[in-house]
Amino acid sequence: MAANTTGVEGATKIKNSPSSTIFYVIAYTIVGAMAIICLVPFLIMISGSFTAEKYITFHGFNIYPVEFSTEAYNLIFKTPSTIIKAYGVSIYVTILGTFLGLMVTAATAYVLGRKDFKYRNQFSFFFYFTTLFNGGMVCTYIFFVRYLHLNDSLWAVILPGMFSVFNMLIMRTFVVGIPTALIESAKIDGAGEYKIFFSIILPLLKPGLATIGLFLALAYWNNWYNAMLYINNPDKFPLQYMLYNLLQKSEAMARIAAQAGLVVTDVPSNSLKMAMAVVATGPILIVYPFVQKYFVAGITIGSVKG
């Protein structure tokens, strides 16, 4: 992010007037306050996961753990099969979906970015039109379940997220940045279209692939909606949907209690919800500092293209 916001260095040489001092006080305060507002829910979640259930029942959640306890994590890791299965599903969906999505996006963006491809405008419109008009949730649902029989299949979770026009347009910006002369000279050297794509274009597209790959991976990791529509088998629940069930449905809590050999009322349900949330979100929070700049770059390119 830092590279993006070099600030107004020249302005620092000018002496601040009283009115601009007030401006800076307000600016620093509001930005700081907003940052705290964005942080607090995470603090509640983390502290809740480390607080004794007894304390939460009597006093409620807090932003720091008053009565420290790891009982919720002990329970999760004593019978980790639920969380391991959900992790497995999420990792599988994220890796497979991101890989396939990247291939489809890169190939499409490459062809539509080629100025010598005669029908690029028609195909661009064909894809773009779906962002203006669509059949909606009900028609897609009926088609998936009744005609494609994708019920309880992880493809119902993977397919809808693979190709998005937004990602393709960002990727096309990266493609257009590659000099046409490279493709021309490869052709003269006798390389076929596939060879050009795989050995020349893809290596040059690395920054674009990193950016779009992260967008795809984040979307797959956070997806619960398609799982809610199409997946009924608890063994195939991805993490986020498992988390949702834990929050909303008592059966999910009962299942965890049964696995741990506890009566439902003995499960530390409040702290357990927070601990599960921490376990599900942990990977994102850990990689966040390292990947943030790719998202900033992608969003910036996407906004320029409209």
Partner 1 sequence: MKYLRNFGQEFKKNKALFSMLAPAFILTVVLSYIPMVGLILAFKNFNYGKGIFGSKFNGIENFRFLFASGKGWQITKNTILYNLLNLVTSQAIAILLSIFITEIRAKYYKKVTQSLIFLPYFISWVLVGIFVFAIFNYETGLLNNLRKAAGAEPYNIYAVPGIWPFLICAFNAWKWSGYNSVIYIAAITGVDQEIYEAAAIDGANIFQRIRHIMLPCIRPTVITMLLLQVGRILRGDFEMFYQIVGNNGQLFDVTDVIDTYVFRSLMTNANIGMTTAAALYQSVVCFVVIILVNAIVKRIDADYALF
**Which residue's CB is nearer to partner 1, number 75 or number 227?**
227
Of 87 and 127, which CB lies nearer to partner 1 in the complex structure? 127
Specify the residue, 205 or 277, whose C-beta has the smaller distance to partner 1: 277
Compute the C-alpha angle 281/282/286, nearest 5°: 125
Q: Which residues of 134-172 are buried (b: 16+ CB within 10 A; e: fewer)?
A: eeeeeeeeeebeeeeebeebbebbbbbbbbbeebbbbbb
Name every residue whose Cβ is closer than 8 Å to that of residue 304 and which is 6 or more positions away in sequence: 173
Whose Cβ is closer to partner 1: residue 194's or residue 261's?
194
Closest approach, Cβ 285 to partner 1, in A, equals 8
- For the CB of residue 261, give the shortest distance to partner 1 in the complex, in Å: 25
Rg of the chain (C-alpha set): 25
Nearer to partner 1, 17 or 233 (CB): 17
CB 162 within 8 A of CB 97: yes
Q: Which residues pair with 51 in a beta bridge?
A: 68
At closest approach, how far in Å is the CB of 133 from partner 1?
5
120: its two tokens? 């690029």
Give the amino acid at 254. A
CA distance 46 to 43: 5
**Do 185 and 230 touch, CB atoms closer than 8 A?**
no
Closer to partner 1 by Cβ: residue 7 or 261: 7
Neighbours of 31 (CB within 10 A): 10
Listed in sequence order, the residues at least 6 apart from 213 whose beta carbon sits closer than 8 Å to its beta carbon are 98, 102
Least distance to partner 1, CB of residue 295, Å: 8
Q: Find the shortest distance in angstroms from Cβ 213 to partner 1.
A: 15
State the DSSP code for 147: I
If the CB atoms of residues 1 and 261 are measured against partner 1, the closer one turns out to be 1
Give the shortest CB-79-to-partner 1 separation in angstroms.
Answer: 21
